[in-house]
Amino acid sequence: MRTILLTLPLLAALPAGAAQPAAECLVPSKPGGAMDLTCKLAQKALQAKPGAPRLKLSYLPGGIGAVAWHTMVSQRRAEPDTLVAFSGGSLLNLAQGKFGKASPDDVRWVAALGVDYGVIAVPADSPYRSLRDLVEVLRRDPEKIVIGMSGTIGSQDWMKMALLARQAGLDPRQLRFVALEGGGEEFVAMQAGYVQVVSSDVSETALYTASGKVRVLAVLSDKRLTGAMAGVPTAREQGYDLVWPLIRGILMGPDVSDADYRRWVQAFDRIESAPEFAQMRAQIGLYPLALTGDALTRYIHQAVADYKRQARQFNLVREH
């Protein structure tokens, strides 16, 4: 019965024996980052359900999510089977006004697939073996270290390092950053030697720690994480009160019908309640956070308000 409920709206209009059309998940970045992993998790979870809609991935990078956002709200507002990955970084951009006059009400929030946490990482052969080692060098010569981040000033990767710098008594404007498009590019740049430090997230970093090429100096969680990061100390353990959780999930266009929106909300409700989903989520470095529909929408509004208060500390909010 669960499969029938999940797929009936998609199949109702098809002639007998016809192939089921694929839904689409838009990745607002280049391949290799956490946005990519979000769509791939949704894809894998749907594939695990017999008869569920197939999900194809498409990539629409640009403007750290701005291109995908504006595409959905201006050109693809009512597509019933188009999903878009979002993250806490998307919400931070909304809070700062980086998507123009956009607000959380401009799209429909479908499902949170999990929560991620910030990390600060270096190459495996780096001389920096702890967060304190890194901070001491930044204090002595902040221009010595080039930091790779996804986005520009005000992005979540920038915010993490800015908050760390402030606690260390540094002006964030003294730090040297390289702005990149997505987490995948950060680690490519680090492996090529263009940057010495990466401000990233657990899910993105997990792709590279398994190869032994990356050392994580700190996870930005309130307590030690389980799984692959269990051996990595938190920033708090190292004397810096820096915690950075971020949601990862799926949204849809604003003019999607209530019936199609509910269909996808119910689909993700079923997916996330299945025992095998917890394992899929853990495999990509995400931790439990199951919110859909109205509950997720309330969470989003509160998160955007919280990000706005935080961004105002650095005069980053563009008032429209």
Q: State residue 140's pLDDT score.
A: 93
Burial-class residue 173 by CB neighbours within 10 Å (0-12, 13-18, 19+).
Answer: exposed
Q: CA 55 → CA 73, 87, 92, 160, distances in Å? A: 21, 19, 27, 33
Q: State residue 15's pLDDT score.
A: 37
94 and 140 fall within a common domain: no
User: Dihedrals φ, ψ of 306, to 5°?
Assistant: -65, -45
Which of 182, 207, 238 represents a domain boundary (last residue)? 238
Which of 194, 223, 238 represents a domain boundary (last residue)? 238
Is 223 domain-assigned?
yes
List the Cα angle 40/45/51 in 5-degree steps: 120
Is 319 domain-assigned?
no
Domain with residue 262: its CATH number is 3.40.190.150
190 and 102 fall within a common domain: no
Per-residue pLDDT tens digits for 201-216: 998 888 788 788 899 9
Per-residue pLDDT tens digits for 67-121: 999 999 999 999 999 999 999 999 999 999 989 899 999 999 999 999 999 999 9
Domain membership of residue 175 as a residue range: 117-238
The structural domain count of the chain equals 2
111 and 122 fall within a common domain: no
The 3-state DSSP composition of the chain as helix, strand, coil percent (nearest 5) reads: 45, 20, 35
Q: CA 160 → CA 53, 155, 170, 250, 313, distances in Å? A: 38, 9, 13, 23, 13
Distance between start and end Cα atoms, the chain:
49
Which of 238, 257, 285 represents a domain boundary (last residue)? 238
How far is residue 242's CA from residue 239's CA, in Å, rounded to a whole number?
A: 9
- 314 is written with which tokens? 């650095």
264 and 305 fall within a common domain: yes
Q: State residue 280's pLDDT score.
A: 95
- 134 is written with which tokens? 């890194």
- 38 is written with which tokens? 């979000």
Is 193 domain-assigned?
yes
Q: What is the largest CA-CA distance in the chain?
A: 71
Is 317 domain-assigned?
no
135 and 231 fall within a common domain: yes
pTM: 0.84
Is 146 domain-assigned?
yes
- 297 is written with which tokens? 């929408």
Exposure on the CB side of residue 251, measured as CA atoms within 13 A: 31
187 and 267 fall within a common domain: no
How far is residue 241's CA from residue 238's CA, in Å, rounded to a whole number?
A: 9
Whether the CB-CB separation of 191 and 271 falls below 8 Å is answered with no
Burial-class residue 176 by CB neighbours within 10 Å (0-12, 13-18, 19+).
Answer: middle
How far is residue 274's CA from residue 292's CA, in Å, rounded to a whole number?
A: 15
84 and 127 fall within a common domain: no
Pairing label, strands 214-219, 55-59: unpaired
Is 145 domain-assigned?
yes
84 and 230 fall within a common domain: no
48 and 158 fall within a common domain: no
84 and 109 fall within a common domain: yes
Is 234 domain-assigned?
yes
37 and 109 fall within a common domain: yes
143 and 92 fall within a common domain: no
Is 16 domain-assigned?
no
Burial-class residue 220 by CB neighbours within 10 Å (0-12, 13-18, 19+).
Answer: buried
Per-residue pLDDT of the chain (320 residues; tens, 9 = 90+): 333 333 334 333 333 334 456 899 999 988 888 899 999 999 999 998 877 789 999 999 987 788 999 999 999 999 999 999 999 999 999 999 989 899 999 999 999 999 999 999 999 999 999 999 999 999 999 989 999 998 888 999 999 999 999 999 999 999 999 988 767 788 889 999 999 999 999 988 887 887 888 999 999 999 999 988 999 999 999 999 999 999 999 999 999 999 999 999 999 999 999 999 999 999 988 999 999 999 999 999 999 999 999 899 889 888 75
